[in-house]
Amino acid sequence: MDAKSFEDLVARVRADFDTTFTWDYDRDGGGLDRLYEKAKRAQWNVSDDLDWSIDVDPERLIRLQAEESGVPPGFPARSLADIDRSPVASWTDDKWVEFAVHSQCTSLSNFLHGEQGALLVAARLVEAVPWIDAKYYGATQVVDEARHVEAFAKYLDEKMPTTYAINDNLRTLINQVLVDSRWDVVFLGMQVVIEGLALAAFGFMMGTTRDPLLKEMLRYVMADEARHVAFGILSLQKVYEDLSSNELRERQEFAYEACDLMRRRSLNPELWPAFGVSNSEIETMLSNTRSQQKFQHLLFSKIVPNCKKLGLLDHRDGWLRERFQEMQIIQYEDWTTEAEELTAASAVDPAAYADK
């Protein structure tokens, strides 16, 4: 029996937050109604709908992926080997394969912890949101997120060598989102920033993995996430119409700070020390390699267009547009994201729900 005590295994976040009843049970017949109907029909089961008998050999799959794509194992981090006095210059191909497997473990682990964050936030939204349609829809998201936690936990436990702790920046952002008393900021942080980032990261992993089980699992999860993002956009568009200029500016700042935190997350600080390389050593080098930068930028390809749909980019002389320009991610403002294309059959375009 594991010696860890219960207290070591939990973390508490204290929040002061209104729980809102509504006595208005009328449905508005709009986008949220349709999204709710869709969500009820699109439920799936981790145990029944995925083939867990598939044997997963992570190292073999990484080698296969490298062979088929022509991209060497450990990319984009591997480009660090070419830098002067690089601490990873002497790494063999086997070492890079091992690194790539663990890099995938850190990604999957953060998906897992992030999904738990989404589960808690979704539950909070059900309590806080003042419309019955949004409470109904939010309840389906709670079930979706529980299923996602279950799926990633099972995959890591049964198919991968290890699970890593949550990334500090991701934890900071989830905590900030959970304690904010403005429920629309909870929406903005989780449904637009964190889920938008997750969709891009899921899409990237789905496009690269050679494991049919993981591919299928991500396809299912992404179909759910596309609805969640649509839920965020639909609800926020409604709220932002009534906010003052100053309040909107606060939302711009929140979106920027959340994106900035997430940009620093993708440096993978939980991984390098396990391979004998200090984070300070790696940080300067990593942010200066082009391939790493390109990959990082791609993670924001879903968030930027959604901020635009919400009117956050250009409010107050384009304050957020300027910040995104500095971050070199403004080029995504009109992107139909890769994630939506990948899940075309089940994707939800918020516009299709919002305009009726």
Binding site for Fe ion (CB under 5 A): 115, 118, 145, 148, 195, 225, 228
Q: Report the C-alpha dihedral over residues 114, 116, 121, 127, rounded to 10 degrees.
A: 170
- Residue closer to Fe ion by CB (options 228, 302) is 228
Residue 184 or 225 having the CB closest to Fe ion: 225
Q: How near is the Cβ of 194 to Fe ion at its closest, in Å?
A: 8
Residue 336 DSSP one-character state: P
Least distance CB 166 / Fe ion (angstroms): 15
Pick between residue 58 and residue 114 the one whose CB is nearest to Fe ion: 114
Smallest gap from Cβ 118 to Fe ion, in A, equals 5
200 vs 267 by CB, closer to Fe ion: 200
Q: Contact at 8 Å (CB) between 300 and 327?
A: yes
**Residue (122 or 248) nearer to Fe ion, CB:** 122
Task: Give the residue with the Cβ less far from Fe ion, 148 or 263.
Answer: 148
State the minimum distance, in angstroms, from the CB of residue 117 to Fe ion.
9
Do the Cβ atoms of 229 and 294 come closer than 8 Å? no
Which residues, 6+ apart, have CB-to-CB distance to 235 below 8 Å? Answer: 32, 129, 134, 184, 187, 191
Query: Mapping DSSP to helix (H, G, I), strand (E, B) and coil, where does residue 133 land?
Result: helix
Q: How far is the CB of 213 from Fe ion (least distance, A)?
A: 18
Smallest gap from residue 108 Cβ to Fe ion (A): 13
| 8-state DSSP, 181 | S
Q: Report helix angle 93-128 to 195-208, nearest 10.
A: 150
DSSP 3-state percent helix, strand, coil across the chain (nearest 5): 70, 0, 30
